[in-house]
Structure formats: C-alpha cells, structure tokens
Structure 1
C-alpha cells in the first residue's frame, strides 16, 4: 500500500468513541463533495505514522470500502493532557478545485547558525496558501544557515510554485537572527 494512503473503516454505532480509542482507533468524520458526512475510524498507529511523515496539514488519500479519495486533514483534536490524537476531520478534495490551507515552514540550517553563536527567533510556524490540491507542498523549506545577525526572513522571501498563491501579508516576519547578549 502507498505510504500516503490511510485505510479507514465505517464507524458502527455500537461502540462509543472511548471504546474505539481503547482498541487503537481514532474516530473521524469525512465530508465534502456531494456526499453527506460519514463517520469513520482509522488505525491510530497508521494515522500517527502518516502525520509524522507528512505533517498535520498534508494532503493524502484515504481508502474506504472500495473507494480511494484525496483528502486534507482539516482538523486534529488532541487530548489536552496526553497530546494523543482523539478525533480527526477529513475534507474531500477534487483535483480541479482550489483549496486554502496552512503549510508548515521548515527552517533548514538552524544548527549551523547556532554553532556560529547566533540565535534564530521564529515568528511564524506556517504560511496560509491557496492552490490546486495536488500542487500544494507538505512543507516549505527555508535555508537559514548563512544568515547574519539582524537578517529577517519575511513571507515574501518564501519560494513556492507559481500556481500557488500566498494569502498571508508579504511583510509578515517568519524568522529573525539575533546574537545572544
């Protein structure tokens, strides 16, 4: 099976969400398209593996019954104490439909910066973008290893595909390099 596919099952009404969680499942709701919302369950282990690999705002496919659909993880609910995923919302996406979502920003080279005695102060974890579902990246990388004290990375400095529009203000600060006092 593809590593970007999550197998889901219809949720029966005979078990509570708590019982499902004890058995290693995460309750889910699937909505979108021309269908009524459907209650599903997914394996906690498979879901956690997929989220570690792709992030919480990634596009992936779900295999339900005999159908495979492209979805986005629209909402992830976590237990406030254990931080375990307790419920997810999956939104159906069509390839010919534009979607807005927050894409994580990865700052690459932060170790190099710290080895030079500089501190990277992060101001934004994600950037809001819009584009066709199949073109959206799972993250945006920004190299920061050669930055000098006082250098600033803004949203306008982020590089994305030409078919993707950044919706955040272009002067919004992503990160600043400082020298420790």
Structure 2
C-alpha cells in the first residue's frame, strides 16, 4: 500500500515567509529527480512524521503536489536539535522501474558469546550502500552476531540476501568483530624499584 503525503507548491524563498510557514506547522521542502525540476514545496510536519513512521526511512511516498502525484523517497532532512523540529526536507522523485543507490543501516541482532566472555564488540560498518528498485530497498539489514566468539568476525559476504537488492561493498569488508579485552600491563620496572631507606654509610 502506497502512503500519500499532501504537499503544496511554494514560490517565495524569503526567509521571513519561510519562518512564518514553519510557525504554522509546515516544513519547507524541495523535490527533484526523475522527470522533475527543482520544485519548492511545503508539507505538514505532523503528516510528514506520521508518513515516515509508516513507510520507514527508505519507503516510497506518493507525494501529492497540488493534486498531482509523484513517487518519491526521502533523500535527507535538516533538524533544529534545540527546538526538536525539522526545518527542511529534500525529496527525490524516482522511476519505479529503475534501480537506484541507497544507504541502508545495519542492525546487529543478539549478544555475541565473545562479549559475554569479556570481549569487546566492534562495528566498522553502520550503513551499507545497496542497489535496488525503489520499492525493494530494505529499511535495514539484519546480521545475527550471537555466535561470535572472541577473535571472530562477520563480513558483507555473510549477509543473507533475498536477491531483491545488490550490496555495493566487497564481500570481505568487516561489519562486526569481537576483540580480546584490553589488559593494562603494570610497569614492572617501577614495581621492582626498591624503596629508599634514607640510611647512609656510617663514618669510621
């Protein structure tokens, strides 16, 4: 099921009018990409948040601009962390029949046996670049790490792919590994240094 997000085109780029737009609960945005010129729009903040919760970060959205529908993906957004508000959104129009490149987060599942034994989990890759049709881009890629012992690792080649997307990474790239715990070595020389007694030789 395609989720529809209502949008309205906007012509003004004046800062004062954009700020006024935000005060009314709207987010200034832009859409560009497949058969689409760079078009300034505005969407309702609550509707946008609800839509992303429904379709996910990489889900296809049917963006309805002044009554005309376009299939888009969320490309990126800017956020005011102090006010906890989204200040701008970039949508990219897509051709549903053509593969595109997208970033997908990696989700590690389970607790590694090696970590339970005192090892340290490392994750060099938190996102993977994939190639897929817009409606086949996964929300995330799961990787079970529960069997990893100290010294073990999992790489891109260990991911079970259902064939709907291609991962644009070398199969040998490490995603997660369990390292031996660090041991702080005492300074033996300092430990063995004798304490000064303060006693000198007696004069005869």
Structure 2 length as normaliser, TM-score? 0.73
CA contact (8 A) 2:129 2:167 kept: yes
Could you tell me how far apart the structure 2 residues matched to 1:45 and 1:178 are?
A: 44
1:116, CA displacement in angstroms?
A: 6.3
Matched, 1:158 2:159: yes
SS in 1 for 2:138: coil
Matched, 1:89 2:90: yes
CA contact (8 A) 1:124 1:175 kept: yes
CA contact (8 A) 1:30 1:39 kept: yes
Could you tell me how far apart the structure 1 residues matched to 2:67 and 2:112 are?
A: 46
Q: Which moved more, 1:131-140 or 1:79-88?
A: 79-88
1:96, CA displacement in angstroms?
A: 1.1
SS in 2 for 1:150: coil
Residue equivalent to 1:62:
63
Q: How many pairs align?
A: 180
- The structure having more radius of gyration, on CA atoms, is 2
Q: Which moved more, 1:77-86 or 1:19-28?
A: 77-86
Structure 1 6/29 Cα, relative in aligned 2: closer, same or farther at 3 Å?
A: same
1:152, CA displacement in angstroms?
A: 1.2
Could you tell me how far apart the structure 1 residues matched to 2:23 and 2:115 are?
A: 43
- The structure carrying a bigger strand percent of its residues is 1
1:110, CA displacement in angstroms?
A: 4.0
Structure 1 runs not aligned, ≥5 long: none
Residue equivalent to 2:7:
8
CA contact (8 A) 2:120 2:181 kept: yes
Structure 2 runs not aligned, ≥5 long: 183-204
Aligned alpha-carbon RMSD (Å): 2.9
Matched, 1:17 2:18: yes
Q: Which moved more, 1:126-135 or 1:147-156?
A: 147-156
Residue equivalent to 1:32:
33
Structure 1 145/32 Cα, relative in aligned 2: closer, same or farther at 3 Å?
A: same
Q: Which moved more, 1:164-173 or 1:86-95?
A: 164-173
Deviations 1:13-48 (A, max 9, x none): 286222222222211101123232211111222323
1:57, CA displacement in angstroms?
A: 3.9
Structure 1 length as normaliser, TM-score? 0.81
1:100, CA displacement in angstroms?
A: 0.6
Could you tell me how far apart the structure 1 residues matched to 2:117 and 2:53 are?
A: 30
**Aligned ranges 1:137-176 → 2 under 5 Å:** 137-176=138-177
Deviations 1:139-180 (A, max 9, x none): 111122232222212122222232422112222221122454
Could you tell me how far apart the structure 2 residues matched to 1:53 and 1:145 are?
A: 29
